[in-house]
Chain A
Amino acid sequence: MKEIESGNRFVVPALLLLSLVTVYPLIYVFYLSLQRRLLIFDISRFVGLDNYIFLLRDDRFWNAMKNTAYFTVVSVSLELLFGLSIALLLNRQFRFRGLVRAIVLIPWAIPTVVSARMWEWIYNTDFGILNYLLGTEINWLGSPSWAMNAAIFMDVWKTTPFVAILLTAGLQIIPRDLYQAAMIDGAGSWAVFRKITLPLLKPVILVVLIFRTLDAFRVFDAVYVLTGGGPANTTETLSIYAYKVLFQTLQFGYGSTLSVIVFLCTGGISLFYVKLLSRGMK
């Protein structure tokens, strides 16, 4: 049967809500980004592209851009590496596999804010367990050279499960006989991984990369709660900078400009991956 009956009315509520709460604000944020708007003084004036011109010369913006790029590249790479290792482990048959899978899901399920506060205590300079275990006295969250890496490690801990679970699902749709055939041909496990597992897993890896890259690029909670963007703005990401301009200095015009930039960047990242994915399908 071809679907002959019209179902337009069924999608109306969803489309209405999506338009009002995501599309309309998105148009609005572009409009705001062309204004000088200070919420407390009721100032709002059209300034054209002034905010964008200011942005190009704003060192703090470029710093945030650099931090966000670093955070995204390093955390996503590590998550993929750890996630793939865990997935290969979970793909084998063993007792208590269900239990182990549930345990792996736990870091994913707990609120990011809670995990940030957990790690804040682990990273504590004087009384934290990390310094005790390593025998060091490093100020993990207070030193410019460590803070970003500490935040990245926390994020990796929190989101590796997501990557591992998706990759495990991807591994399970690879036909078993392919492996058996390779084994009979005498292929070693590294060769099997490179020649069979990796190529067949590629589409799933790409999808995981899309999700994770977009998520990492807009990172807010994890870093904001852990370091607040400090020390000396070394962990200030684009979302944190935008949030501070919007809600701490209440400059809704310039803050919206920063928001637009985050939106455009994520749009660009999605397009890039979609291109990559559709080329892989051919």
Chain B
Amino acid sequence: MKRSGFYLLVGIVIFYCLAPLIWQFITSLKPDYELTMIPPVLPKNPTTDHYISVFKGHPFLRIILNSTVVATSTTLLSLAIGSLAAFGLAKLRIGYKTLILGFILSVSMFPPIATVSPLYIIIRGLGLRDTWWALIITYTTFSLPLSIWILVNFFREIPDEIYRAARIDGCTKFQAFYRIMLPLSAPGIFTTAILVFIFSWNEFLFALTFTSTTASRTIPVGIALFPGLHEVPWGDIAAASVVVTIPLIVLVFAFQRRIIEGLTAGAVKG
């Protein structure tokens, strides 16, 4: 293939991936009357009105707070519980280990819709409806297979001798885990954290079902149910979309290597 032809193809891929986002960004800068102008081209009088209106008119800050709390708590909990299990599965003797690993893998294939009705009844029964906890507990559980799967791979790569040395030096099993093994698997922990965070930041079905007010509504629900009195407020939706997408774009550019590593950990090696 010729060099120029190759770069043309790369250019097409970049365009394919970015064009919808760029168009959304352009839309967010257009005053309302320009949104309905034909031809739909670049804004003649760019404005930040939509950004101001998103933050002023709607409880958007609260929704961002909800998503931040839910995604951060989920990440921490999933890492804590997942790393314990992954360490045990990678380094210690556990009865029915293959069965447990198979069970964890099969849980990752559960369709969320299959458990949403009983979970709704349980959560309502516990009085957790429309709270952060409803989402944190659900997300933590559904992200556990991913966390455990990635972390088992990382723990396996740490030589057994290191763990044994820690035990001989007088560490308990748990101390050996969090003083020695955990710091050594920091890259794995980090990779897992990013993926779990993105999963909980983006999840929609459970969020739509378990939340009912802005007390706990997360960003995807807020954007899906964006309030409009008569017509759809395209400019505001575009502005809100841009705001909530920025953290993800930052994550992708900062940690693309880790993300790719995490995504491929289970699929290619396993």
Contacts and interface: CB of A to CB of B under 8 A. Distances in A.
Interface of A: 1-11, 13-15, 17-18, 20-22, 24-26, 28-29, 32, 86, 89, 92, 94, 98, 100-107, 109-119, 121-122, 124, 126-129, 132, 157, 161-162, 165-166, 169-170, 173, 204, 207-208, 211, 214, 217-218, 220-221, 224-225, 238-239, 242-243, 246-247, 252, 255-256, 259-260, 262-263, 266-267, 270
B76 to A, nearest CB: 14
Most chain B beta-carbon neighbours within 10 Å: one of A98, A110, A132 = A110
Contacts of B267: 166, 169, 204, 207-208, 211
A207 B268 contact: yes
Contacts of A132: 38-40
Contacts of B116: 243, 246, 259
21 contacts: A1-B160, A4-B93, A14-B104, A15-B100, A22-B115, A26-B114, A32-B121, A94-B10, A102-B252, A107-B17, A112-B220, A114-B223, A115-B20, A127-B35, A127-B40, A165-B263, A169-B260, A218-B113, A221-B204, A243-B205, A246-B117
Interface string B97-123: 000100110110111111111111110
B81 interface: yes
B118 A32 contact: yes
B196 to A, nearest CB: 13
B20 A114 contact: no
A173 B220 CA distance: 37
B95 interface: yes
B113 A103 contact: no
Contact of B87 (A7, A102, A124): A7
B75 to A, nearest CB: 15
B252 A21 contact: no
B18 interface: yes
B13 A86 contact: yes
A79 to B, nearest CB: 13
A132 B42 CA distance: 13
B264 interface: yes
B204 A113 contact: yes
A28 B238 CA distance: 40
Contact of A110 (B100, B221, B234, B248): B248
Interface in B60-95: 81-82, 84-85, 87-89, 91-95
Interface string B209-249: 10000000001110110100000001001100100110011
A252 B104 CA distance: 28
Contacts of A225: 204, 224
Given A6-B94, A127-B36, A255-B117, A14 B14 contact: no
Interface in B120-138: 120-122, 137-138
B202 interface: yes
Nearest to B257: A98
Contact of B110 (A101, A102, A263): A263
A186 B259 CA distance: 38
Contact of A17 (B14, B140, B259): B140
Given A113-B224, A118-B23, A103 B40 contact: no
B109 A32 contact: no
B8 to A, nearest CB: 11
A238 to B, nearest CB: 8
Given A14-B84, A21-B119, A239 B111 contact: yes
